[in-house]
Structure 1
Amino acid sequence: MAAVTGDGKGAVASVNSLATQLGLEAFAKGGNAIDAAAAVAFALGVVDTPNSGIGGGCFILVHWADGRVEAIDGREMAPAAATAELYLVDGKYQPQLSKTGALAIGVPGSVAALEALVKRGGKLKWQEAILPAAALADSGFAIDGIYSKRLGWVAEHMQKYPGSAAVFLDEKGKPLLPGTTLKQPDLAATYRKLAKQGSEYFYRGEFAQKMDEWMKANGGLITAKDFANYRVLDRTPVKTAFNGYQVFGFPPPSSGGTHVAQILNILETFPIATAPEADRYHLILEAMKRAFADRAYWMGDADFADVPRGLLDKSYAKKLASTIVLDKATPVKTYGTPPNVSTDLFNRHTTHIATADAEGNWVAITTTLNTSFGSKVTIPGTGVVMNNQMDDFAAQTGQANAFGLVGDSANKVEARKRPLSSMSPTIVLKNGKPVMTVGAAGGPTIINQVVQVLVNRLALNMPLEQALNSPRVHHQWKPEKGLIDPFASEELKQELKKRGHDLRDWPGFGSTQAIALEKDGFVAVAEPRLKERMQ
């Protein structure tokens, strides 16, 4: 699932070996990290459909060979007819409406973002990024136990949508069993049309029309005009310094870049590199709580809400750090107030892929349908599973979404707005040169997975695989409980519990992909925990 080219000129890390192989083949054809990343993304839409596909959205962070760092926003967008009351029925919040079916779907952005990426810096033709994945969809692949299990979780919902049932369920409406060869001829045909016609097919052509017709027949809001109005947005990356490194992340509507930086800023005020293990994990949990409290109140699409840049301020981090007690967990009652909250604002305007090449192109793409198989809707005749990204809005202040996250008015539903995300594609520079790219999947744990890999690598100088394989913790402020890897030592767990942390074992810590540059060249690592889950 992670590999370096035989000549050492490139590296790929993804969650699936078939997708990684198509990335390596892009290098072999003369492509660069841009081409490899796009090839992997389209392949994952075939073999990793629970998590990703062209019916979803993505954030792309790229370090170009000339030294520029760009953030390409391919996040889903609410339809023009969306309102803050969309998920209220007789004044009562109906959570299922934002999770399954027509009203859960946002206008997808992955196609537009990937096309923009390839056109700006790829060496191969657009078609060469897509056609290998189309061939894979036609020939099929054997699904594993994890894929089958995830189908089992959603089969009841998929039965309601003929387009999904025809692809992912058997004749009796049951999930496909492990070892079954899954062929997706409709998706292959869609990919081939996309390869020939470009994003025009998707946003202003046949696909948009099919989407419009399905929405009208199923009580949805998205129209062909919504698709035609979708645009990729160029954002200014967020940046912080940590232990002599420059850390670049994605700005709002990602909360990831801001809060990865904020947590690192808080931790930097302590001797994190030399702290005993229990102290280090305690500090990480306390920093997480404070960042997620701020996330709940301040964060949203900066084109619609006033998101203060002061969240990144080092002095604000020191203020938050001063409220942390080293030997005791402290409750965080509410969000903080960063400096210049009304004047210094961000500019208005889940799976992870990492690639890098010897020319200096480094790519971090986090892409998602949101929850498993998104909205559970496959548009008939296209093979495309649609996202349920509308659930990432704060449908009602204080109400938790599918991941237990709460939000405020900054992330309320509004027409053409992009929902808040935890996706955290990250690129690290040392002395102006890229040395690492990392990102993760796993809902709100994404932010905290990335933080811990960065701390392990940049502060503790761990080899990359050890940095990914070390025990992780997670706290998102609400609910007032923390998570910890089951394999963490009992000594560590007891030490943290003595300090007042309410922790429970959590075996499902998403997945992280990373590439680092070491003395002998690239090192690529895919989530080590996935190997255990697949056994």
Structure 2
Amino acid sequence: MNFSLHGRALLLALLLTSGAAFAADGAPETTPAATTSAQPVQRPGHAGIASANFLATNAGFEVLAKGGNAFDAAVAVASTLSVVEPESSGIGGGFMATLHIAKGNRNVFIDARETAPMAVNPQDYLNPDGTPNRDTALKGPLSAGIPGEPAGLALLAKRYGRLPLSVSLAPAIRIARDGFKPDPRLLASIKGEQKDLERWPASAAKFLPGGQPPVAGEVWRDPDQARTWELIAAKGDAGFYHGEVAQKLVDAVRAAGGNWTLQDLANYRAKERTPITVDYQGYRIVTAPPPSSGGVAIAEILNILRGYDLAKMDPAHRVHIIVEAMRRAFRDHNDYLGDPDFVKMPLDMLLSPFYADGLRQSILPDQATPSSMLPHGPAHDPGMHTTHFSIIDKDGNMVGITSTVNYILGSTFVAKGTGVLLNDEMDDFALVPNKPNVYGLLGSKANAPVGGKRMLSSMSPSIVIGKDRSAVIGSPGGSTIITQVLEGILHFVDGQSARQIVADKRYHHQFLPDQVYVEDGVFDAATSDALRKMGYTLKPREAWGFMNVVTWDHRTNTLDAASDPRRPSGLGKVE
């Protein structure tokens, strides 16, 4: 194969899209702040919520019953997940949210991604020999970015909710104060991270009461986190970023060798951005813009796939085409994307159908394209330590939120007196250019750490809007988030129900390492053999996200909510 085809396609796209201007958030200047869609004017009359924990789903319905809308319910679900699923998300992390506001038929994106502290020093993440220091990047206060979740939830409630934070946060406060019985996944996470939790006194006090992990059936309480949420309920995000909580956070971080300041917290802002939209087979997909890489990659893949009739292909060739589209999108992910407030990205090029046409020409019909055109990184198993939930309310408002503390139990560092488990999102920067992070993803200087900058993310909360059916789709999964959401969208377009979508077997390719991760049973023997003959290396893996989906059939005006059956703690519910 002539590998210069990629360069030719890139040059062609640059010529075709040259002269495009970009706004501060990376969108073309002509793009409005909130996009509109072809969503029919219709009300379901009932609501659907799917989340990773039944307590969080029920908290959302509790707030809906008090007169809240989907956005109030989202505050309740996210804050409750902070209490009951801290291994995946929480008050010390951040989130990205894709919203459809029924009144006015608008789509909005909220960026509550964490930021680097102003005193960030890349040398802190290097060993003496110049290799990445995985410990400082993943454990302790140096691994933590400035949290975005409190500011993002406050913004969501103020601009789009109906209820005060005191009502929407009440379930999380009650559960943290009165206690709950941890599910097996949280128990296993605490046990697995016990040695690191023991490094920090406040972490041990929270997660290892009496010096040991909690056991099944035991009620676990988090009064410090309850108090922090109470201050946010009373004061809004000022209850976190100013005053006693801010002082405790900074004191704890600096005492343990970190570099946060009160000004870092005071300067944090959640932001509204223009969502990325792409049309595919009669559906409008509304998804995440940078600093998420997910929406750009999903749109690029769908633009490539528009040139094929996947329904007429045999299973092996269908997978071949989809994987090759994944491969090309992840290459661009590594090269171009970062925080739109700090770097200029060629989004017009990457989202252009002309660029997709050029990439499509480089795909051979019966042969895999080796990824050897890029430097190789060691194989890392993509992780699953994030969470996603989907909501549609009775008025047709829709919200998908993907929230994270990054790796399992984040940094494992709890700030004394706050109950706040800090994230380890600094590892999502390209701390060492062209060296892989914990998920095996490479990065360039576009994603280099700078004070106040947001690190690149794979979070891809997406809304699919069609004449007959709509859906809210998302999943955790590190770098596999992008391909899981893509496959969910393709299955939805093919007519599958929410329950079918969350149960579907999955596969993933991210350019490097050059292999296809596969879930057991995703391909039959004949398809696997055919893919190997095309040049693919198939690598089995066990963990495949925690997808949560809500669908809306406009023809029957019914909702369907489903949580991933791979884990028993989730709940998809309609009422």
> What TM-score do you get using the length of structure 2 for normalisation?
0.86
1:356 aligns with 2:395: no
* Alpha-carbon distance in structure 2 between the residues aligned to 1:371 and 1:480: 23
Q: Shift of the alpha carbon at 1:463?
A: 2.2
Count matched residues.
Answer: 511
Q: Shift of the alpha carbon at 1:146?
A: 1.8
Deviations 1:87-131 (A, max 9, x none): 134462322211001110100011111111111121222111111
Any idea what SS the aligned residue of 1:441 has?
coil
CA spacing shift, 1:476–1:99, aligned 2, 3 Å: same
Any idea what SS the aligned residue of 2:358 has?
helix
Question: Which residue is 2:436 aligned to?
Answer: 400
| Counterpart mapping for 1:428-439 below 5 A | 428-431=464-467, 435-439=470-474
Deviations 1:272-291 (A, max 9, x none): 12322222122221111111
Tell me whether 304-313 or 364-373 shows the greater mean CA deviation: 304-313
User: Partner letter of residue 491 of structure 1?
Assistant: A
CA contact (8 A) 2:228 2:239 kept: no
* Alpha-carbon distance in structure 1 between the residues aligned to 2:497 and 2:396: 21
CA contact (8 A) 1:8 1:522 kept: no
Any idea what SS the aligned residue of 2:193 has?
helix
CA spacing shift, 1:533–1:32, aligned 2, 3 Å: closer
* Alpha-carbon distance in structure 1 between the residues aligned to 2:217 and 2:526: 40
Question: Which residue is 2:412 aligned to?
Answer: 376
Deviations 1:145-187 (A, max 9, x none): 2222111221111100111111111434x43233322111111
User: Partner letter of residue 464 of structure 2?
Assistant: V
| 1:511 corresponds to which of 531, 534, 546 | 546
Any idea what SS the aligned residue of 1:382 has?
coil
Question: Which residue is 1:141 aligned to?
Answer: 180
Deviations 1:15-66 (A, max 9, x none): 1011000111111111111111111001000111000111000111111122
Question: Which residue is 1:158 aligned to?
Answer: 197
Any idea what SS the aligned residue of 1:295 has?
helix
Q: Shift of the alpha carbon at 1:141?
A: 1.5
* Alpha-carbon distance in structure 2 between the residues aligned to 1:166 and 1:83: 30
User: Partner letter of residue 58 of structure 2?
Assistant: Q
Identical amino acids, percent of aligned pairs? 38
User: Partner letter of residue 500 of structure 1?
Assistant: G
Tell me whether 289-298 or 323-332 shows the greater mean CA deviation: 323-332
Question: Which residue is 1:43 aligned to?
Answer: 80
| Counterpart mapping for 1:90-239 below 5 A | 90=128, 92=130, 93-172=132-211, 174-239=212-277
CA contact (8 A) 2:249 2:416 kept: no
1:58 aligns with 2:95: yes
Any idea what SS the aligned residue of 2:202 has?
helix
Question: Which residue is 2:307 aligned to?
Answer: 269
CA contact (8 A) 2:116 2:426 kept: yes
* Alpha-carbon distance in structure 2 between the residues aligned to 1:132 and 1:531: 21
Question: Which residue is 1:4 aligned to?
Answer: none
Question: Which residue is 1:339 aligned to?
Answer: none
Deviations 1:257-299 (A, max 9, x none): 1111111111111111232222212222111111111111111
| 2:495 corresponds to which of 454, 461, 480 | 461
Q: Shift of the alpha carbon at 1:211?
A: 1.1
CA contact (8 A) 1:215 1:223 kept: no
User: Partner letter of residue 469 of structure 1?
Assistant: A
* Alpha-carbon distance in structure 1 between the residues aligned to 2:114 and 2:570: 30
Question: Which residue is 1:304 aligned to?
Answer: 342
* Alpha-carbon distance in structure 2 between the residues aligned to 1:91 and 1:69: 48
CA contact (8 A) 1:58 1:368 kept: yes
Deviations 1:189-243 (A, max 9, x none): 1111221121111011111111111122111111111000001112111111101
> What TM-score do you get using the length of structure 1 for normalisation?
0.92
Question: Which residue is 1:342 aligned to?
Answer: none
* Alpha-carbon distance in structure 2 between the residues aligned to 1:102 and 1:141: 28
Unaligned ranges ≥5, structure 2: 1-43, 375-385
User: Partner letter of residue 499 of structure 1?
Assistant: M
User: Partner letter of residue 227 of structure 1?
Assistant: L
Tell me whether 490-499 or 212-221 shows the greater mean CA deviation: 490-499
Any idea what SS the aligned residue of 1:182 has?
coil
CA contact (8 A) 2:371 2:512 kept: no
Q: Shift of the alpha carbon at 1:358?
A: 2.8
Tell me whether 133-142 or 91-100 shows the greater mean CA deviation: 91-100
Question: Which residue is 2:511 aligned to?
Answer: 477
Any idea what SS the aligned residue of 2:388 has?
strand
User: Partner letter of residue 395 of structure 2?
Assistant: E
* Alpha-carbon distance in structure 2 between the residues aligned to 1:91 and 1:332: 28
Any idea what SS the aligned residue of 1:248 has?
strand
CA contact (8 A) 2:363 2:369 kept: yes
* Alpha-carbon distance in structure 1 between the residues aligned to 2:404 and 2:123: 25
* Alpha-carbon distance in structure 2 between the residues aligned to 1:286 and 1:469: 24
* Alpha-carbon distance in structure 2 between the residues aligned to 1:248 and 1:425: 9
CA contact (8 A) 2:52 2:570 kept: no
User: Partner letter of residue 384 of structure 1?
Assistant: V
Any idea what SS the aligned residue of 1:247 has?
strand
